[in-house]
Amino acid sequence: MSNYIVLVKQVPDVSQITDNAFDPETGTLIRSRLASVINELDCQALAFANRMKQISGDQQAKIIALTMGPPMAAEVLRYSLSRCADAAVLLTDKKLGGADTWATANPLAFAIRKIIEEILYGDQDYFIVSGMQSVDGDTAQVPGQIAQELDISCVSYATDVKYDKGLFEFERIISGGCQTVSPKATPAIITVAKYEYPLFATFAATRKANKIDLIQWGADDINATGIGVAGSKTRVIRVFPPGKTTRKCCKITDVKDFAAKIFESNHGQSQASAQMQQQQKYVLPAKRKPFDRTFEGTAKESEDFKLLGDILLELGIEDVSKITDEKKAIIISKAANRFHAKALEDMLAGFMVSQPSYQGQVWVMAEHDGPAMHPATFELLGKARELADSLETKVGVVIVGDKVEHFSNALIAAGADIVYMTEHPILKEFDPKSYRKAVAGIVEKYWPQIMLYSATPTGRILAPMVSYKLNCGLTADCTSLDIKDSSRKQQIAILMQTRPALGGNVMATISTKDSKCQMATTRPGVLKRLPDDPSRAGTIIKCPVDIAENDLSLNILKTDHAGSSVNLSAEVIVSGGKGMQSRDNYEQLLGGLISAMRNKLGTDVERGASRAAVEQGFIDRAHQVGQTGTSVGPKIYVALGISGAIQHMIGVANTETIFAINSDPEAPIFRQCDYYMAANVEDVIPQLVEELNKA
Amino acid sequence: MADNKNFNKVSVIIVGAGPAGLATAITIKKQKPHLDVCVVEKGADAGNHNLSGAALEKLQIHQLLDSAAAGWKDTEQAKDILARTIDNDNVYMFLLPKIKIKITPFIKIAKKLGLGLGQMVHAGDYLVSVSKLSKWLASIARQNGIEVLTGFSVEDIILENGKAAGVFLKEQGLDKHGNKQPNYAAPEKIYADVVVLAEGCDGLITEKFIEKAGLQRKDNQLYSLGIKEIIKVSDQQYKAFGDGTSIHSMGYPIWTPFIGPAMFGGSFMYAMGDNKIAVGVIVGLDFKYCDFNPQDALTHFKNTPFARQYLSDGQVVEAGAKMIPEGGLNAIPRDRETGDIGKFNTVIVGDSAGFVNMLKIKGLHNAIESGMLAGKAIAKNMHNTNNIAADYTRLVDASNIYREMYSARNFRQTFVKLGATFGMPFSIISNLLPQWKAEKDYQAMTSAKYRYKGNKEFDKDTFTAMAATEHREEQPSHLTILDPKICIDKCTAKFNRPCITFCPAGVYETVHDEVKPANPSNCLHCKTCQRKCPFDNIRWTVPEGTGGPRYKNM
């Protein structure tokens, strides 16, 4: 019989953001002004654990909820108890606060050990079930790091579970498809990506939950090895609001122009990558003029250093180590108190450092599914090339698998200098444990200064395991990577990792600390692939690995790369609303437009629908876009016969370009889109298809 | 640990965490601390389903708070929720959009003469948000050891030989077609020694109980629909309006003399602090215009020059709709034989009983008082719960609630009987007229058209978004049309499907030539549909717990 430990987290409710939640000065979202709720995927994890208990027919199994957070996080434990949990443990202590994912996973793993020992009497047959990621941090790193700390199997991105002949079989999402797996052994950690049947509270359990005593542990109870700010391996440099997009609301009367705008929007670069292009390329301090510190992490620091540099030049000072106190007083007065004595000391010390803080190459983890390389790998190589050039070092790419040498030329052509290759029959398919072992082995041997993974289902489980194993910090799902200095902290040429947080409502720039290598995963589709250069030369270094059958943690029962499910993360989404009138219309009009766009734009095009269209039975709910459906952020969103109710528009807010066609000239969507036509969809779409096909 | 307890058994179960239910709970717990007093509420949080103007008389709420929370006056909540007292009380009669008469002086004279009409004076009342008030009372109740459990829908009452044994909760986890999902949760039974029905207007369990336990109303219950928005305005506008100001108006666009529409109702504007003004209309559901949407009346009122000066360019920050029980004294449900407002160990309090004084158009103070009286009766009779309903009824009939309701007993009925135009003057002396019997609201529907049409359709989607209403989408529709044929064969030709127009949430639509509750997840739980469908063809049932609006400041 198995027991279950469910990891739950209290998060700010980013679905209900009020006006006063933003700092009026900086425009940044203030977390403490949001209501707190249980992380939605953790609700699903609870239901998933309960489902496992039900289908295995084991009524004796215990479900224990565990959370780490401030005392008010007890609320999510009461939530768990009012549904299916038998007991609940609250890990709370000031010393645990301010932790990054490393310093979160570590104490949680130690708490799990204590739960097994003290509550489950040492029974090692257990599953840890958690949501894949939390809505506030959105990193998906903690479960993988816990798996590494406890050295157990990990099934990530689970969507369903079956029980057959005493074994659980999990349905899971993999990069570009789905897979059925069964862990080779317990304990195992299961992370839930989607399970649609969250449990309801019962009256009796809710009353009990309100009266039961929670088990409360502090830092001293668990003896964890890395906690709080001190145990963290990343640091937040700055938090800032994301760039607001304002919709153009441009009316178009000619279908030809409408088609042209669609092509234009498809060719336009995504904003995130456009942003990255604008930045000035980093130059190492040794190559700059004296006292040039243009590349600080924040604009204010760059300005302060510029001011100080100018004053030093004006005073004719060349050696900053020999400045007298008298001179320092003059500098401070000249700077008109822009900085104080302590800051001046830090900055002068900063001027004395010009050696980069990290040594080594810039590496990329290659991802492939056997025959084909994942496109995100080439995007990463483009970025790695740029970073390595600024740092004057080489680009390495790590590739692990069975018979993968044939990828080498493509990787080198895309920007790699060295291909680090491990080949072994055991590594034929991705298994977190065997791949972690192989990859960590190579990194440990050569120690690059930067290692980049793509934030795909594979990358998001491999990266946390490798980084945790190697005691390195890791930043998830970055949208921008830059080399910068943090001279006041005497750090030169470090990787500034920028990523969205709190459901995309704030941006955070993060740097790595106390690590030998700076690691990050980046969002696929944001970075830019370089044009292939088949004439590039590169070397291949083969890295043998000592690996065997018992390094595999999962039995892979079935792999399906077709990916039959609805892909609302497609680059282009065409949605129909109630204005489509009937199911036949919806099918016919959308079908025609979608195939034309797919052919002509050369990208993935998926169908979406408004809630009204789903209600009327035009298409099934999996396609529903909006507040109660799926929130999407494609490059192009085409809304056909959709009025633009606020509930729908919230769900498409992250779209780059919104097109709308509606017969009602007063439709609210026209005030919230980029290009629109006030016309009947039945008339316009066939013309639009014709125009697209002509091009 | 509380492992061995039967968590499905309580001493007192109170259905509904509004002011009446919470006043009941607090009063019982203060007198009998050892009892398990439990309040269940279908809203996701206490206060989420409470909406009112609201002007609140001070006496009753002070009594309740004094008993429950010593030193309440110094709490942050009191300073926030009870911050405003009406010091600028205005009543207007709008003859046309631009022509109005201030009638406050006449009402003040009426008050001095001791006439019923004098009850329309509101000066000295608190201006409150009943959502905030309920949420606060729930937290006070919890501090006193009462279990207030939100997000649980009660489906029915369990009766054994006329005596209540407890309640049934709504089953959860069915899909749209009624099939059980993997997370299906069967209906739970809660056993209780005493059941208190405090559901608010047109209570689902209350109406079932009235029928099953053999209670009756002397006269039909009448309803009106209130539509309310909270609008954030500029500093200047708010200052000009005044922080202690209340405006009540009659006339346009609900009624205009001889030429225009003739409906019962009026509009109001209240200062709510923080540059917010609450604005709303109340319309009697005995309106006869089949194409009338009460929300249009609100738009017309907001467009009068008088309202515009305070509201123009303001931003709607919250919106909602709710029914008000207006039948008065003769519509209070009572036992056929004993006259009890309840039976044995079951009592009905607040709006569920219909304790609204139509001269004041206020019921909040009576709801609180009825709760306190029920609490008193329950605490006193726990050893013999059969006496509770009788004791409670004795207390109510000897209280201010009865006196007030008696003085207003024929006011609303006079409007029904004589129509808005003639009803208005006669209502002043309504108590000298014969006690009219009113027909049910839905029977008043005719094929007549409302005179003041809007320029464009009211944006119901944004309205429901401002009410923050949501339901789990995959549950069966909680609204049912009993006989779809009636909608097509009779209603379409005669009235052109008024439910599509009057539902403030736009729940009803024509889909493939059939009228359907197409958007049940937009429902605001106002229940107008089941009281105004001209063929009495719609039934509102309770959806899964936590569904419905999420009012915060209404």
At A632-677, the pLDDT tens digits run 778 899 999 998 887 788 778 778 899 999 988 888 899 889 999 9
The long-range contacts involving B482-486, CB below 8 angstroms and separated by at least 24 positions, are B482/B537, B482/B538, B482/B539, B483/B537, B484/B514, B484/B515, B486/B535, B486/B537
d(CA A352, CA A331): 17
Distance from CA of B518 to the nearest CA of A (A): 7
Identify the residue whose tokens are 């425009």: A27
Q: State which residue of chain A sits closest to B477, comparing Cα positions.
A: A615
Q: State which residue of chain A sits closest to B510, comparing Cα positions.
A: A616
Do B318 and B474 meet the contact criterion of CB atoms below 8 Å apart? no
| B516-542 per-position pLDDT tens digit | 999 999 999 999 999 999 999 999 999
Distance from CA of B148 to the nearest CA of A (A): 10
Question: Are B459 and A668 in contact (CB < 8 Å)?
Answer: yes
State what percent of residues in chain B have pLDDT above 90. 83
Using an 8 Å CB-CB cutoff, list chain A residues near B465: 645-647
Do B395 and B375 meet the contact criterion of CB atoms below 8 Å apart? no
Using an 8 Å CB-CB cutoff, list chain A residues near B8: 203-204
Task: Report the pLDDT value the prediction gives residue A636, as an integer from 0 to 100.
Answer: 92
Is the four-CA dihedral A40, A41, A42, A44 of positive or negative sign? positive
Average pLDDT, chain A: 89
Distance from CA of A396 to the nearest CA of B (A): 48
| B441-452 per-position pLDDT tens digit | 999 999 999 988
Q: Which among A213, A611, A668 has CB closest to B1?
A: A213
Q: Assess whether A433 and A290 both reside in one domain.
A: no
Residue A480 in domain: yes
Q: Assess whether A117 and A136 both reside in one domain.
A: yes
Residue A168 in domain: yes
Using an 8 Å CB-CB cutoff, list chain A residues near B147: 207, 210
Question: Are A207 and B147 in contact (CB < 8 Å)?
Answer: yes
Question: Are B183 and A199 in contact (CB < 8 Å)?
Answer: yes
Residue A550 in domain: no
- Three-class SS state of B165: strand
Residue A326 in domain: yes
Domain containing A578 equals 250-268+566-694
Q: Assess whether A374 and A334 both reside in one domain.
A: no
Distance from CA of A198 to the nearest CA of B (A): 7
Q: Which two tokens stand for residue B403?
A: 């006196």
Task: Report the pLDDT value the prediction gives residue A600, as an integer from 0 to 100.
Answer: 86
Identify the residue whose tokens are 């009353």: A207
> CA A621 from chain center: how many Å?
26
Return the exposure string of A358-390: e unless at least 16 CB atoms fall within 10 Å of the residue's CB, then b. bebbbbbbbbbbeeebbebbbbbbbbbbbbbeb
| Residues belonging to chain B | 554
Relative orientation angle of helices A459-469 and A432-446, to the nearest 10 degrees:
50
> CA B444 from chain center: how many Å?
21
Query: Which 531-550 residues of chain B touch chain A by CB within 8 A?
Result: 544-545
Task: Report the pLDDT value the prediction gives residue A626, as an integer from 0 to 100.
Answer: 76
Residue A668 forms contact with B (CB below 8 Å)? yes
Contacts of A200 (CB under 8 A, 6+ apart): A83, B172, B173, B183, B185, B544, B545
Question: Are B545 and A646 in contact (CB < 8 Å)?
Answer: no
Mutate to test the interface with A, among B463, B473, B500, B510 (most CBs of A within 10 A): B473
Using an 8 Å CB-CB cutoff, list chain A residues near B545: 200-201
Do B264 and B541 meet the contact criterion of CB atoms below 8 Å apart? no
Distance from CA of A282 to the nearest CA of B (A): 47
d(CA A153, CA A552): 9
Q: Assess whether A214 and A321 both reside in one domain.
A: no
Identify the residue whose tokens are 């791949």: A435
Query: How far apart, in Å, are the Cα atoms of A670 and each of A650, A658, A659, B33?
Result: 15, 10, 9, 60
- Burial class, A229, CB count within 10 angstroms (exposed 0-12 / middle 13-18 / buried 19+): middle
Using an 8 Å CB-CB cutoff, list chain B residues near A51: 182
- Burial class, B128, CB count within 10 angstroms (exposed 0-12 / middle 13-18 / buried 19+): buried
Residue A237 forms contact with B (CB below 8 Å)? no
Distance from CA of B187 to the nearest CA of A (A): 9
Q: Which two tokens stand for residue A482?
A: 């830059």
Residue A555 in domain: no
Residue A557 in domain: no
- How large is the ipTM? 0.91
Q: State which residue of chain A sits closest to B185, comparing Cα positions.
A: A200
Q: Which two tokens stand for residue A109?
A: 């793993």
d(CA A501, CA A509): 10
The long-range contacts involving B299-305, CB below 8 angstroms and separated by at least 24 positions, are B299/B454, B299/B458, B300/B97, B300/B252, B300/B253, B300/B452, B300/B454, B301/B249, B301/B252, B301/B253, B301/B267, B303/B97, B304/B94, B304/B97, B304/B98, B304/B100, B304/B252, B305/B97, B305/B98
Is the four-CA dihedral B230, B234, B237, B241 of positive or negative sign? positive
Task: Report the pLDDT value the prediction gives residue B431, as an integer from 0 to 100.
Answer: 81
Average pLDDT over residues A600-629: 83
Question: Are B181 and A612 in contact (CB < 8 Å)?
Answer: no
Domain boundary (A543, A558, A592) is at: A543
Q: Assess whether A402 and A482 both reside in one domain.
A: yes
Residue A211 forms contact with B (CB below 8 Å)? yes
- Burial class, B400, CB count within 10 angstroms (exposed 0-12 / middle 13-18 / buried 19+): middle
d(CA A161, CA A48): 8
Radius of gyration of chain A (CA): 27
Q: Which two tokens stand for residue A686?
A: 């066939």
Distance from CA of B150 to the nearest CA of A (A): 10
Mutate to test the interface with A, among B1, B190, B461 (most CBs of A within 10 A): B461
Q: Which among B40, B185, B519 has CB closest to A202?
A: B185
Given a cut of 70, whether residue A269 has pLDDT beyond it is no
Q: Assess whether A33 and A159 both reside in one domain.
A: yes
Band of the pLDDT at A564, cuts 50, 70, 90? very low
Relative orientation angle of helices A591-601 and A255-267, to the nearest 10 degrees:
50
Domains and CATH numbers, chain B: 9-78+130-217+332-407 (3.50.50.60), 98-127+221-325 (3.30.9.90), 460-540 (3.30.70.20)
d(CA A412, CA A634): 30
| A1-27 per-position pLDDT tens digit | 799 999 999 999 877 776 677 777 776
Average pLDDT over residues A375-393: 93
d(CA B32, CA A292): 77
- Burial class, A119, CB count within 10 angstroms (exposed 0-12 / middle 13-18 / buried 19+): middle
Q: Which two tokens stand for residue B328?
A: 């008065």
| B85-121 per-position pLDDT tens digit | 999 999 999 998 999 999 999 888 888 888 777 888 8
CB pairs below 8 Å between A and B: how many? 74
Q: State which residue of chain B sits closest to A214, comparing Cα positions.
A: B1
Question: Are B456 and A200 in contact (CB < 8 Å)?
Answer: no
- Three-class SS state of A2: coil
Strand partners for A29:
A22
Do A115 and A89 meet the contact criterion of CB atoms below 8 Å apart? yes
Given a cut of 50, whether residue A276 has pLDDT beyond it is no
Q: State which residue of chain B sits closest to A624, comparing Cα positions.
A: B473
d(CA A561, CA A571): 19
Q: Report the 10 Å Cβ neighbour count for A533.
A: 11
Q: Which among A197, A198, A212 has CB closest to B2?
A: A212
Q: Looking at A272-281, B8-17, B149-158, B301-310, which range is the least confident one?
A: A272-281
Task: Report the pLDDT value the prediction gives residue B4, as an integer from 0 to 100.
Answer: 52
Q: State which residue of chain A sits closest to B182, comparing Cα positions.
A: A197
Q: Which among A16, A203, A212 has CB closest to B190?
A: A203
d(CA A15, CA B465): 13
Contacts of B216 (CB under 8 A, 6+ apart): B210, B333, B334, B336
Using an 8 Å CB-CB cutoff, list chain A residues near B544: 200
Question: Are A615 and B519 in contact (CB < 8 Å)?
Answer: yes
User: Residue A636: what residue type?
Assistant: I
User: Residue A628: what residue type?
Assistant: T
Number of domain units in chain A: 4
d(CA A567, CA A465): 27
Task: Report the pLDDT value the prediction gives residue A268, as an integer from 0 to 100.
Answer: 66
Q: State which residue of chain A sits closest to B38, comparing Cα positions.
A: A207
Question: Are B473 and A51 in contact (CB < 8 Å)?
Answer: no
Residue B149 forms contact with A (CB below 8 Å)? yes
Residue B519 forms contact with A (CB below 8 Å)? yes
Mutate to test the interface with A, among B8, B183, B189 (most CBs of A within 10 A): B183
Contacts of B137 (CB under 8 A, 6+ apart): B19, B22, B23, B26, B46, B64
Q: Assess whether A131 and A188 both reside in one domain.
A: yes
Q: Assess whether A578 and A657 both reside in one domain.
A: yes
Per-residue DSSP letter, A630: B
Residue A201 forms contact with B (CB below 8 Å)? yes
Residue A215 in domain: yes
Q: Assess whether A531 and A607 both reside in one domain.
A: no
Residue A242 in domain: no
Residue A558 forms contact with B (CB below 8 Å)? no
User: Residue B521: what residue type?
Assistant: S
Given a cut of 90, whether residue B422 has pLDDT beyond it is no
Opening angle at CA A430, ends A425 and A433, nearest 5:
95
CATH number at residue A623: 3.40.50.1220
Nearest alpha carbon to residue B368 among B25, B124, B76, B86:
B25
- Three-class SS state of A455: coil
Number of H helices, E strands in chain A: 21, 29
CATH number at residue A213: 3.40.50.620
Identify the residue whose tokens are 């006669």: B426
Nearest alpha carbon to residue B273 among B83, B471, B11:
B83
d(CA B519, CA B508): 7
- Burial class, A96, CB count within 10 angstroms (exposed 0-12 / middle 13-18 / buried 19+): buried
d(CA A230, CA A647): 43
Per-residue DSSP letter, A525: T
Using an 8 Å CB-CB cutoff, list chain A residues near B173: 197, 200
Task: Report the pLDDT value the prediction gives residue A244, as an integer from 0 to 100.
Answer: 61
Do A225 and B14 meet the contact criterion of CB atoms below 8 Å apart? no
Q: Assess whether A369 and A319 both reside in one domain.
A: no
Q: State which residue of chain B sits closest to A18, comparing Cα positions.
A: B317
Residue A546 forms contact with B (CB below 8 Å)? no
Question: Are B185 and A47 in contact (CB < 8 Å)?
Answer: no
Q: Looking at A118-122, A502-506, B381-385, B499-503, which range is the least confident one?
A: A502-506
Q: Assess whether A62 and A90 both reside in one domain.
A: yes
Q: Assess whether A255 and A330 both reside in one domain.
A: no
| B119-157 per-position pLDDT tens digit | 888 999 999 999 999 999 999 999 999 999 999 999 999
d(CA B376, CA B347): 12
Do A419 and A540 meet the contact criterion of CB atoms below 8 Å apart? yes
Q: Are strands B346-348 and B479-481 parallel, antiparallel or unpaired?
A: unpaired
Residue B41 forms contact with A (CB below 8 Å)? no
Q: State which residue of chain A sits closest to B180, comparing Cα positions.
A: A197
Opening angle at CA A137, ends A136 and A139, nearest 5:
140
